[in-house]
Amino acid sequence: MKQILQNMGSGETYLVSAPSPQAKSGSLLIHSVSSLVSVGTERMLVEFGQANILQKARKQPDKVKMVLDKVKSDGLATTIDAVKSKLDQPLPLGYCNVGRVAEVGRGVDGFAKGDRVVSNGPHADVVRVPKNLSAKIPSNVTDEEATFAVLGSIGLQGVRLANPSLGECFVVTGVGLIGLMTVQLLIANGCRVLAIDYDESKLKLAQLFGAEICNPGKGEDVINTGVAFSRGMGVDGVIITASTASNDPVSQAAKMSRKRGRIILVGVVGLELSRADFYEKELSFQVSCSYGPGRYEADYEEKGNDYPIGFVRWTEQRNFEAILELLSSGKLDVKPLVSHRYNFNDALDGYATLTNDKSALGIILQYPEVGPEELTNTQLELKPYISSGSCAPVVGFVGAGNYASRVLIPAFKEAGAQLHTLSTFGGVNSVVHGEKNDFHKASTDTDAMLKDHEINTIAVVTQHNSHARFVSQALSEGKNVFVEKPLAINVEQLEEVKKAYASQLEEGKGARVMVGFNRRFAPQVQKMKELVSAVSEPKSFIMTMNAGSIPADHWTQDNEVGGGRIIGEACHLVDLMRYLAGSEIVSVQARRMGDSDAVMVKEDKAAIILGFADGSFGTVHYYANGAASFPKERVEIFTAGKTLQLDNFRKLKGFGWKGFTKMNLWQQDKGQKACAKAFLDAVSEGKPAPILAEEIFEVAQVSIDIAEQLRAQ
């Protein structure tokens, strides 16, 4: 498989070869035939990537504030590493794809192998797309015409929000690809249309489609032209499809509109609104969201749950279908919109045109035919494999998201692991991060990797609901397993892992299992452990995690996918307290925030009291409603007239300890590197895992118990 990527850090646009994705439940695997470059969106992304760091900051002031808050809490060096890693994540370009169905995933109906389909798949010769983001193409619509369906749906959604009626007069500001299709859609609705743009060639196309035109670049007055166009009454509506930082499009739209006119923003413009312009006319202003209802909704897009047509007539998929019908009937003409065509293998020439030729309009990428071997090409060798010896940890990674690529993979590499195979669902991340970290292979076939006899150790860094399955599979193959928390998100999954672990021990395989509870390996925590271990009295713990708010629909909040934030993140503090107490957890009490209309998620605002067999006890405060500038984690221990206080794994203070007052670090260290090294050393030296399996199972069970208590309240 080949795919076009954009590096947002360096600004490089490049074509990468990667293993092909595999069809999964609810999706289609598609062989691409052609795709359309979205000139406005993709030019903006490429130019952003090519900008220097100061220019990037000016374009995203909200992100700058987040960075400054992180500097205050985590330190400069940690923040710089995080920002660099974020910018280095490869961004797939493109979302206007046409191809033929090569494979239909489980649970997908209405599609068959060989169907011609349009989808929002990226620029790649093989794409995997959820069924609700695909639509079949009518027989009389060409592949090239169909590539405009997704962009056309963006304009169509704006038109639907404007709700035009027969005989009304509308203005379209900015007549690029979406604007020119919006002009035609409004005319098809029986409206008179005025097109506004600085590009005379685009205005001539709008005129060809039946619009009147206005070019402010030639000194024409936009507002007066709009009022005259409306025959002095003010236009009924304005659809803004322009891309500019200027506030003028919205201001001009308000001034040329009639009383109670409608303004719909489809593009990206400045939004410093004048209250007077809107107040006196009681204007409506609405921002249109992409292709329509369902966009960015995980239940619709990822899980394939459609909205009933009686309640949501026009979903994004049905908007795709509507545009295809308009193309089929001839009411939407996109042939004049094609300005350039490139073979996919020469796609980078197309992107040079995109950045250098501002008059470029519809850039079509045409794909060479690919054989059936492309579907089965699920592994790609990145470098030769040379064995380091029978005792060396040879590691296969499952997952290469932000945490895996930024923290865990580099930590394993630095600790001396021989990195064999990196497996991801899509394939691109496995190549990008596999090459960067000297992996032997990139893969999309995790099952094959788990069975590979050259690999003796597996690291699992995927979505939480898949952890237990991969851990159990790896253990059954006799592999050592390092899994990023949590081990399991429910009791059934935990029992599955425990059973797999016990079975491989009975078979004499002796594989290790370890959860990435890195905090116990942090240098300051090691110092705390040293100090409190010399005290025989029970300890009192207070641990606070200022976790920060994330949306209620984020996958980590989904109990079936992420397991919720207590199981998925607060487990770190459960393990840390268990480690510092050095005693079994014997009691659990939990209380969440009470019901309130203002608080959508209660489970991530909770207090947890743990009791230990030696008489120690502690409270975990997990809060998602605190200030971002406050330290994210604080650990306090009270015992025998002494106190320890650790702030954000940077500043440790001691009160009442003979010979110890403080231990501060220049850079935050949560123990990730030491954790990876301890595990790999155990593998290479044939020793037990640094955290006993029984303790890992205990913490997993306690975390699940806490979540169940909170959900029952």
Is residue 395 predicted with pLDDT exceeding 80?
yes
CATH number at residue 393: 3.40.50.720
Whether 209 and 345 share a structural domain: no
Q: Which two tokens stand for residue 675?
A: 């954790």
Q: Note the pLDDT tens digit of each residue in 429-473.
A: 999 999 999 999 999 999 999 999 999 999 999 999 999 999 999
Confidence (pLDDT) at 704: 97
CATH number, position 47: 3.90.180.10
pLDDT tens sequence across 86-141: 667 778 999 999 999 999 999 999 999 999 999 999 999 999 999 999 999 999 99
The confidence score (pLDDT) of residue 329 equals 96
pLDDT at res. 488: 98
CA distances from 373 to 21, 102, 152, 377, 461 (A): 12, 12, 34, 6, 29
Query: Is residue 103 located within the same domain as residue 236?
Result: no
pLDDT for 73: 62
Show which of 496, 515, 534 is a domain's final residue: 515
Check pLDDT > 70 for residue 70.
Answer: no
Choose among 148, 102, 154: nearest CA to 129.
Answer: 102
Tokens 């409306």 sit on residue? 230
| Domain end position, chosen among 256, 287, 318 | 287
Residue 37 and residue 118 in one domain: yes
* Neighbouring C-alpha atoms within 13 Å toward the C-beta of 15: 15
Q: How much is the pLDDT for 358? A: 83
Instruction: Enumerate residues 6+ apart whose C-beta is below 8 A from 201.
Output: 359
Final residue before a domain boundary, out of 287, 318, 347 = 287
Q: What is the CATH number of the domain that holds 545?
A: 3.30.360.10
pLDDT attached to residue 22: 86
pLDDT at 375: 66
Structure tokens at 455: 């690999």
| Dihedral of the alpha carbons of 35, 39, 44, 49, in degrees to the nearest 10 | 50
Q: Is 373 exposed, middle or buried, given 0-12, 13-18 or 19+ CB atoms closer than 10 A?
A: exposed
Instruction: Report yes or no: 226 and 161 within 8 Å, Cβ to Cβ.
Output: no
Q: What is the residue range of 156's domain? A: 151-287
DSSP secondary structure of 538-557:
--EEEEEEE-----TTSGGG
Distances (CA, A) of 167 to 226, 232, 235, 553: 16, 15, 11, 42
373 domain residue, yes or no: no
Same domain for 156 and 135:
no
397-404 mean pLDDT? 94
Percent with pLDDT over 90 in the chain: 79
The predicted pLDDT at position 429 comes to: 92
Which pLDDT score is estimated for 91? 87
Question: For the chain, how many structural domains are there in total?
Answer: 4
Residues 219 and 72 in one domain: no
User: Which residue has 């035939």 as its token pair?
Assistant: 33
Q: What share of the chain is helix, strand, coil (3-state, %, to 5)?
A: 40, 25, 35
Whether 598 shows a pLDDT value over 70: the answer reads no
pLDDT tens for residues 635-680? 999 999 999 999 999 999 999 999 999 999 988 999 999 999 999 9
pLDDT digits (tens, 9 = 90+) for 603-636: 899 999 999 999 999 999 999 999 888 889 999 9
Q: How many of the other CB atoms lie within 10 Å of CB of 162?
A: 27
Which burial class, exposed, middle or buried, applies to 218 when counting CB atoms under 10 A from its CB (0-12, 13-18, 19+)? exposed
Locus of tokens 């797309």: 129
Residues 505 and 525 in one domain: no
Cα–Cα distance list, 602 to 81, 271, 566, 623 (Å): 32, 34, 11, 10
Q: Is residue 311 part of a domain?
A: no
